[in-house]
Each structure stands twice: as structure tokens, then as C-alpha cells.
Amino acid sequence: MIYNESFLLKNVSLRFLFICCSLIASYIIFISIVSIVTGLNHLQQEGFWMPVLVGTTTITMIFYLLSRLFKFISNQMKEPDSLNR
């Protein structure tokens, strides 16, 4: 019975961690999209490409890191607790 409770707590805490990281990633992606739109709205200015480049690089990096985090968390949820072996 204790094993199931700790396993449930582990799953809930890992899901909570993933949700929190997803919210932070959503905020960063929103800021990156604003950066891209700002760069595209100022095509006549010199250096307009820099916000576009930084925004797309940031979005790519966030999606990569979030996919790695999801893979790590799903692997952690599948394996049993180390204290209960």
C-alpha cells in the first residue's frame, strides 16, 4: 500500500513539473513570436533580421528542450522508485 502511494506522489509531482515547465516554455515562445513579428514589421530598418533570427532560434531551442524533458519525465514515471526495490 505504501508503494502505491509513493508511486502516485511521484507521478503527480512529475506531471506538475512538466506542466510548470510547459507554462514557462509557452511564455518564452510568446515572447519569441512577438520578437519575430516586431522584426518583420520593421523590414525597412537596418538589422531587422536579428529579432527574427533570435526568435526562431529560441523557439527551436525551447521545443527541443521541452521534448527532451518530456522524454525524461516519461522514463522516470515508468521506472519504480529506488527506495522500494
What are the tens digits of pLDDT across the range 74-84?
A: 898 887 766 55
Does residue 41 form part of some domain?
Answer: yes
Q: What is the DSSP string of 11-39?
A: HHHHHHHHHHHHHHHHHHHHHHHHHHHHH
Q: pTM to 2 decimals?
A: 0.80
* Residue 3: per-residue pLDDT: 52
Domain for residue 81, yes or no?
no
Q: What is the tally of structural domains in the chain?
A: 1
Domain encompassing residue 32: 2-76
Residue 36 and residue 51 in contact, taking contact as beta carbons nearer than 8 Å: yes
Confirm whether 85 is domain-assigned: no
Examine residue 71 and state whether it is found in any structural domain, yes or no. Answer: yes
Cell reading at 35: 520578437
In the predicted structure, residue 2 carries a pLDDT above the cut 60: no
